[in-house]
Structure 1
Amino acid sequence: MAEALSKSGCSRSAVRAVCLAVSGVNHPTDQQRILDWLSDIFPNDVEYYVKNDAVAALASGTMGKLHGCVLIAGTGTIAYGYTEDGKEARASGAGPVLGDWGSGYGIAAKALTSVIRAYDGRGPETKLTYSILHELQLSSPDELVGWTYADPSWARIATLVPVVVSCAEAGDQVANDILLHAVQELASSVKAVVHRLGLCDGKDTFPLVMVGNVLEANRRWDIGKEVIKCVSKDFPGTRLVRPKVEPAVGAALLAWNYLIEQYQREISSVDYD
């Protein structure tokens, strides 16, 4: 925030509203902790809005309007949606232990598991074995155990997603099945949110904002495109949106829109008689 103020040439006293979109903010207690921290940074008359980071990602595709669904698929994954009257719902986003299987971590973890299964004789042979060992500069699947547990961070594991995509594009059935499973998982998350919110009644369209490197287009295996096809079978009103601005800009647009809405409510409540 300090860097953004510096680049804009503004001081803290010029700030009227702050929207902070943070991963893991799901409950009022989470919001209150952040609000307590913010109150020591900006003047007393500043309006604060604390949201899950997925909300800012949605706003980055709708230019600040909270309506539709966002699907984020990077290291982790989450689907988050809003109706125009303020109802919200989410699916996934609970981390890999609880089943974010369409995520980058989920894809790469399945690939590593497939290599070990093939090495043990419990699964089919796969190009993933050579490709992953080559990528990690390892000589044997045995060495994957040490590599994995030396630093089992989610982001480190997820860096193997491009290897899985390349193997699928080269015709490897195991890699292809992993990506197909990811598509089904990601589409299921979106469909769960759309269904719970009633975003698509067969007449209206709704934006599906896609964010994250897992959903970026590849040469032949386009995960994002396959997710859209899968969702559209059940909800033909799905309209793909790929944001042209960063989620940070979405958060700024949310702060602006919240402030304008509050100002309009105050104006409408004034009795001019």
Structure 2
Amino acid sequence: MKVFLGLDGGGTKTDAAALDERGTLLARYIGGPSNPHSASFGTALTEIMSAIDGLIERLSINVDEIAAICLAVSGFSSIDEETLLKRAVQQHLLKQELSIPVFIQSEGQISLMAAVGSNHGVLVISGTGSICYGYLPDGSGTHTGGWGHYLGDEGSGYQIGLRTLKTVMRSYDSVCKPTIMTDMIMEEYGFKLITDLKGYIYIPSHSKAEIAAFSKVCIQAAGAGDAAAIAILTEEAASLSDTAAALLRRSPTLQNYPVVLSGSVFRYSPIFRGIFCSSLQKTFGGLNFVDGSLGAPPSTGAAMTARKLFNDYRQE
């Protein structure tokens, strides 16, 4: 039996999975963050090796059955960084007498594989941040968005959360009409007055994730019919649709492949998802949208990719 390992590393966790030749999940391991821009390169590499070791320890097999590994770690994006990652993993595996192919892929490619069983197509992510990926069958790829919360992240949880915060304060100042988001935030965070929000928001240690968390309030309020919340989701969905449209215009061939929707905003907001899809469909028509949340996790997609690339490698 051959076993294939896959690893999906990011700023909050490192998720590793192992599959056999038939695609059966054999083991999974969840570790800490491995994005080198969230910590140091050394810390990220240590976490990656720990995740690999933890996954192997959960496999009740001989290590010589492991055939290949595929890694997709956000933050290792340049050729030099990917080379560093590959060499470090190869050296670590050699210590366990494992000399196997090590493949490096992007988070977009493994997410597509997990969702549709192929590493080509379009992936639109709306989570804490946002980005649109496009990959062709020859392995070439491009993206639009992904410039972070200062330069972009349109249609992301961060932007929706930030607009939610600004809207409730403008409502307090009577610039905007009253919104149920005000009471929802006060109840959720235990504020006596909505002006208490200022002291909470400007705590220096608060990250993008804390701001993005307020998108949940907006999504719930929109579901209850709040006009201000609906307006935020509508405008942000249309903005992300513009970003995806730019990708499809840049590489028209991508219009023939599935458009996978991934991330918490797509998953939990039917309003956002509906506006995004209808806007993009109106521009291009005939697009095939796929709910990425219904597929396997990206770590499994990485292991599936390891299996595919290993088989391709053997056939060359």
Instruction: Indicate whether the TM-score tops 0.5.
Output: yes
* CA drift at 1:208: 1.0
Cα deviation digits, residues 14-64 of structure 1 (max 9, x gap): 33321111123332122123123212221363212222222211111121x
Q: Which structure 2 residues correspond to residues 101-250 of structure 1 after superposition, within 5 A?
A: 101-150=154-203, 151-200=205-254, 205-218=256-269, 221-243=270-292, 244-250=295-301
Q: What is the distance in 1 between the residues matched to 2:59 and 2:259?
A: 31
- Aligned in 2, Cα 1:110/1:42: closer, same or farther, shift over 3 Å? same
Q: Indicate whether 1:97 and 2:150 are aligned.
A: yes
Paired residue type of 2:291: R
Misfit runs of 4+, over 6 Å: none
Q: What is the distance in 2 between the residues matched to 1:120 and 1:171?
A: 22
* CA drift at 1:217: 4.7
Q: What is the distance in 1 between the residues matched to 2:300 and 2:131?
A: 20
Q: What is the distance in 2 between the residues matched to 1:183 and 1:142?
A: 29
Aligned residue pairs, count: 259
Paired residue type of 2:288: R
**Alpha-carbon contact 1:108-1:157 (below 8 Å) kept:** yes
> Which SS does the other structure have where 1:42 is aligned?
helix
**Alpha-carbon contact 1:82-1:197 (below 8 Å) kept:** no
Root mean square deviation, CA, Å: 2.0
- Aligned in 2, Cα 1:79/1:200: closer, same or farther, shift over 3 Å? closer
* CA drift at 1:172: 2.0
> Which SS does the other structure have where 2:99 is aligned?
coil
Q: Indicate whether 1:39 and 2:90 are aligned.
A: yes
Cα deviation digits, residues 47-100 of structure 1 (max 9, x gap): 12222222211111121x221101111111211111112221111222211110
**Alpha-carbon contact 1:18-1:252 (below 8 Å) kept:** yes
Equivalent position of 2:315 in the other structure: 264
Q: What is the distance in 2 between the residues matched to 1:189 and 1:257?
A: 30
> Which SS does the other structure have where 1:245 is aligned?
coil
Paired residue type of 2:285: P
Equivalent position of 2:54 in the other structure: 3
Q: What is the distance in 1 between the residues matched to 2:254 and 2:112?
A: 17
TM-score for the superposition, normalised by structure 2: 0.76
- Structure 1 gaps of 5+ residues are 266-273
